[in-house]
Amino acid sequence: MVETLSDIGEFGLIERIHKLLQKIGVHTPGVSLEIGDDAASLKPRPGFELLITCDTLIEGRHYLPRHITPVDIGRRAMAINISDIGAMGGKPLCALISLGLQSGTLVADVEDMYRGFVTELNPLGASIVGGNLTKTENTVFIDITMIGEVRKENLMLRSTAQPGDAILVTGYPGQAAAGLNLLQNAKAYKNLHAHPLVKAYNLPAHRALEGQAVARSQKAHAMIDTSDGFLADLGHICQESHVGALLIQENLPISSELKEAAVEMGMDSYQLFLQESDDYELIITCSPKQVLNIRSAIKEISQTPIHEVGRIRDASEGIELMLPDGTKRPISLKGWDHFK
Amino acid sequence: MVETLSDIGEFGLIERIHKLLQKIGVHTPGVSLEIGDDAASLKPRPGFELLITCDTLIEGRHYLPRHITPVDIGRRAMAINISDIGAMGGKPLCALISLGLQSGTLVADVEDMYRGFVTELNPLGASIVGGNLTKTENTVFIDITMIGEVRKENLMLRSTAQPGDAILVTGYPGQAAAGLNLLQNAKAYKNLHAHPLVKAYNLPAHRALEGQAVARSQKAHAMIDTSDGFLADLGHICQESHVGALLIQENLPISSELKEAAVEMGMDSYQLFLQESDDYELIITCSPKQVLNIRSAIKEISQTPIHEVGRIRDASEGIELMLPDGTKRPISLKGWDHFK
């Protein structure tokens, strides 16, 4: 029998999830109450601040159900939230999962989604401590609240970039946008699951460990993740820090996959890099003489590539892109805006 | 011009909300970062545990947009989350708001919703520190995560009721169920906004201050809010505490409004009291000799009525209702189950 949520009901589903998590999840030190009371309870560690963030995935909008497995939906939703904690220099501790599901949803698919959550949480020693299940007629959604911790002195902000700072970026932004574009224009019969750009979209790598390493080094000035797209998030840094920026086009890391796909799709790879793209890389600014220290702090814990792509400058100079011929072009701050 | 979300976009809306909150909201001590970074930051107080809960309202399912103003939708959503923190004995500190909205939603309605959130938060010294906005084609939803604090020694659970305990309940459960029933069966022209039972449904009073008072007294054994309905939540206490319960029908507090409406609607008022109903009252269990202490702890801070409605007993005796003629009837644990 293929079980759906209407077969086992809300409380039946909670029990199944609870049992699954006891079997496959880890226990977070400091969490004294998990699922099963009105609220979860957490004993904070002295000397640490708590970080709290939430992010929502809507079916069809933030993932395409035809092109992603329930396990990967769970991984994707969790990685996005982990990324926000990591971008502040924090370590994820625990998550609350709020799901809007349909009566006909398969129990096995929900369990798979939780396997995905746990796949991302376990390596970080973080756990699911509560949540909410509700029925929705149409829109399936996953809203995750993530709690993390950071030593006060390591807290990384977006509002503390300084003119003269080098701008660094991890990984290869733009790949997720290209992957999404491939999926949206794919022929129905085409299985793109294993395409590297589709994987970049479906399963973005968070950089929480890298973010923690940067924060611990205390050598960076500002940090943010690229959840709204590289340019929009650099724009957030500029706006909150009251600074401008100059990007060097030649230095923008465009992966070979992105370059190829852009040609095939008739798109500009730099545009894909700059625009909205769900990559969840880190933008880091630091004094130019600290670039090597930041690089080695990250290198100690991961192979993630880091590229220096420009300089922070005075706000009055705006945000510009320097082309290979040396001319500078103002670029407008555009990113993912849900309602426009 | 009537502004919609598509006119000002996601970032425009975030800015508007941010400004509104700076104007009308309070600042929570210990919160060092609010809206405007990847995560909010909170410095926990030594000796306190943090409580974390989340709850979702779906338009049409958890409120009927035709019968409630945006301000009251905000108040309702917030009160429900405050209730969960209060039921653990905790004080709400800060909230994250995750909204799924349509492009055509009026900006003024969203701002009104935030006014509603703040109406509930300000008296408690709690604030909105972050959130997420996302576009949905169909289902409008409000998912709130609430963080609270409680001294470790005052933490109230549902799993610690003891056989012999008195069962107390605040207020008049069942009123919200009756109010919802009135709305669902109302003629289109009928304005029921001011009906006391409709108000009980639309704007349930949370009992967070009462819950904190009970917790501080350290005289109670177990506590829960009646978010799933009186019987279902008493059932949660019984299940988690491994106990049974005997309820005295004559002692169940049925408000005169509920009694009248039940007759008009041809429904059983006791059934309305016991079944799923969005009242957010507190069920408290304590040693019979502590009942007066609990009463006076609550009386010191509020006029909320408290009734003693039965006794906790051994699990083997199950959950029964004693009728006025002395006969006992087993009652089944039913409450709000979203998927059945």
Secondary structure element (H or E) that encloses residue B12, with its range: helix B5-24
- What does the DSSP 8-state code read for residue B101? E
Q: Do A51 and B58 touch (CB under 8 A)?
A: no
Percentage of chain B exceeding pLDDT 70: 95
Give mean pLDDT, residues B223-243. Answer: 94
Asked, for residue B104, whether it belongs to a domain, the answer is yes
Location of structure tokens 């039946």: A12
pLDDT of residue A333: 61
Which residues of A, range 90-109, sit inside 8 Å of B by Cβ?
90, 94, 96, 98, 100-101, 103
Q: State the pLDDT confidence band at B27, using cuts at 50, 70 and 90.
A: confident
Contacts of A90 in chain B (CB under 8 A): 39
Whether residues A130 and A50 share a domain: the answer is yes
- What does the DSSP 8-state code read for residue B303? -
Q: At what angle do helices B208-217 and B70-86 cross, to 10 degrees?
A: 10
pLDDT of residue A162: 98
Q: Do B11 and A52 touch (CB under 8 A)?
A: no
State the number of CA atoms in the 13 A half-sphere of B101 facing the CB. 28
Asked, for residue A103, whether it belongs to a domain, the answer is yes
Asked, for residue B222, whether it belongs to a domain, the answer is yes
Q: Do B157 and A8 touch (CB under 8 A)?
A: no
Q: What is the CATH number of the domain that holds A310?
A: 3.90.650.10
A66 touches chain B (CB under 8 A): no
Whether residues A107 and A197 share a domain: the answer is no
pLDDT of residue B311: 98
B49 touches chain A (CB under 8 A): yes
Q: Do B135 and A61 touch (CB under 8 A)?
A: yes
Asked, for residue B161, whether it belongs to a domain, the answer is no
CB B220 within 8 A of CB B97: no
Whether residues B216 and B317 share a domain: the answer is yes
- For residues B142 and A219, give the distance between their C-alpha atoms in angstroms, rounded to a whole number: 39
CA A108, distance to chain mean position in Å, is 26
- CA B81, B86, B87, B90 torsion-angle sign: positive
Of A134, A154, A174, which residue sits at a domain end?
A154
CB B80 within 8 A of CB B122: no
Closest to A206 measured CA to CA, from A123, A311, A289, A326: A123
The region of weakest confidence among A173-182, B186-195, B216-225 is B186-195
Q: State the pLDDT confidence band at B191, using cuts at 50, 70 and 90.
A: confident
Contacts of A150 in chain B (CB under 8 A): 41
Picking from B10, B33, B48, B52 by the largest number of A CB atoms within 10 A of its own CB, the best residue to mutate is: B52
Closest residue on chain A to B103 (Cα)? A339
Instruction: Please tell me which of the candidates A6, A96, A148 has its beta carbon nearest to residue B54.
Output: A96
Whether residues A199 and A133 share a domain: the answer is no
Q: Do B61 and A338 touch (CB under 8 A)?
A: no
Picking from A17, A28, A37 by the largest number of B CB atoms within 10 A of its own CB, the best residue to mutate is: A37
Q: What is the CATH number of the domain that holds A12?
A: 3.30.1330.10
Whether residues A42 and A181 share a domain: the answer is no
Query: Percent helix, strand, coil in chain A (nearest 5)?
Result: 40, 25, 35
Secondary structure element (H or E) that encloses residue B230, with its range: helix B230-241
**Helix, coil or strand: residue A128:** strand
Q: Do A337 and B11 touch (CB under 8 A)?
A: yes
- For residues B148 and B49, give the distance between their C-alpha atoms in angstroms, rounded to a whole number: 8
In sequence order, which residues have a C-beta less than 8 Å from that of residue A256 and are 6 or more positions away? none
Instruction: Please tell me which of the candidates A42, A141, A150 has its beta carbon nearest to residue B52.
Output: A42
Asked, for residue B122, whether it belongs to a domain, the answer is yes
Q: Do B49 and A43 touch (CB under 8 A)?
A: yes
Secondary structure element (H or E) that encloses residue A222, with its range: strand A222-225
Instruction: Please tell me which of the candidates B42, B46, B155 has its beta carbon nearest to residue A52.
Output: B42
Whether residues A216 and A80 share a domain: the answer is no
| Strand runs labelled E in chain B | 31-33, 40-42, 48-58, 91-101, 127-135, 141-151, 166-170, 222-225, 243-248, 282-286, 306-314, 319-322, 328-330
In sequence order, which residues have a C-beta less than 8 Å from that of residue A290 and are 6 or more positions away? A166, A219, A220
Asked, for residue B198, whether it belongs to a domain, the answer is yes
Burial category of B23 from C-beta neighbours within 10 Å (exposed 0-12, middle 13-18, buried 19 and up): exposed
Asked, for residue A310, whether it belongs to a domain, the answer is yes
Q: Which backbone phi and psi does B303 adopt, to 5 degrees?
A: -95, 5
Of B110, B133, B154, which residue sits at a domain end?
B154
pLDDT of residue A178: 93
Q: Report the domain count for chain B.
A: 2
Of A154, A178, A205, which residue sits at a domain end?
A154
**Higher per-residue confidence, B293 vs A11:** B293
CA-angle at A12, arms to A11 and A18, nearest 5°: 85
CB A18 within 8 A of CB A36: yes
Q: Which backbone phi and psi does B56 adopt, to 5 degrees?
A: -120, 140
CB A167 within 8 A of CB A310: yes
- CA B221, B225, B231, B237 torsion-angle sign: negative
CA-angle at A7, arms to A129 and A78, nearest 5°: 30
Whether residues A133 and A199 share a domain: the answer is no
pLDDT of residue B31: 76
In sequence order, which residues have a C-beta less than 8 Å from that of residue B26 and are 6 or more positions away? B121, B122, B125, B126, B127
pLDDT of residue B323: 93
Contacts of B43 in chain A (CB under 8 A): 49-50, 152
Q: State the pLDDT confidence band at B333, using cuts at 50, 70 and 90.
A: low
- For residues A9 and B333, give the distance between their C-alpha atoms in angstroms, rounded to a whole number: 14
Which residues of A, range 153-182, sit inside 8 Å of B by Cβ?
155, 157-159
Q: Do A42 and B58 touch (CB under 8 A)?
A: no
Whether residues B75 and B186 share a domain: the answer is no
The region of weakest confidence among A110-114, A213-217, B183-187, B214-218 is B183-187
Closest to B17 measured CA to CA, from B141, B139, B133, B142: B133
Closest to B17 measured CA to CA, from B123, B145, B132, B138: B132
CA A159, distance to chain mean position in Å, is 19
pLDDT, one tens digit per residue, over B51-101 is 999 989 999 888 888 889 999 999 999 999 999 999 999 999 999 999 999
- How are strands ordered across the β-sheet holding B91-101? A31-33, A40-42, B48-58, B141-151, B91-101, B127-135
In sequence order, which residues have a C-beta less than 8 Å from that of residue B23 and are 6 or more positions away? none
Whether residues B187 and B86 share a domain: the answer is no
Q: How far is A55 from chain B (nearest CA, A)?
A: 6
Q: State the pLDDT confidence band at B189, using cuts at 50, 70 and 90.
A: low
- Token pair in block for residue B2: 């009537």
CB A74 within 8 A of CB A122: no
Closest to B167 measured CA to CA, from B1, B57, B279, B287: B287
Whether residues A84 and A122 share a domain: the answer is yes
Contacts of B56 in chain A (CB under 8 A): 98, 100, 132, 134, 143
Q: Residues, chain B, total?
A: 340
For chain A, 340 residues long, the average pLDDT of each consecutive 10-residue run is 87 89 86 71 88 90 88 96 95 94 93 97 93 86 94 94 98 94 80 88 94 97 94 94 96 95 92 92 98 97 96 96 93 59
**Higher per-residue confidence, B133 vs B311:** B311
Instruction: Please tell me which of the candidates A50, A141, A339 has its beta carbon nearest to residue B9.
Output: A339
How are beta strands B127-135 and B91-101 bridged, if at all?
A: parallel
Residue B339 has pLDDT above 90, yes or no: no
Q: Which domain holds residue A55?
A: 5-154
Q: Do B157 and A33 touch (CB under 8 A)?
A: yes
CB B127 within 8 A of CB B28: yes
Query: What average pLDDT is seen over chain B?
Result: 91
How far apart are the two ends of chain B, measured CA to CA in Å?
A: 44
Whether residues B176 and B324 share a domain: the answer is yes
pLDDT of residue A62: 87
Asked, for residue B338, whether it belongs to a domain, the answer is no
- Token pair in block for residue A22: 């006891």
Q: Do B43 and A50 touch (CB under 8 A)?
A: yes
B22 touches chain A (CB under 8 A): no
Closest to A37 measured CA to CA, from B340, B157, B49, B13: B157
Whether residues B87 and B226 share a domain: the answer is no
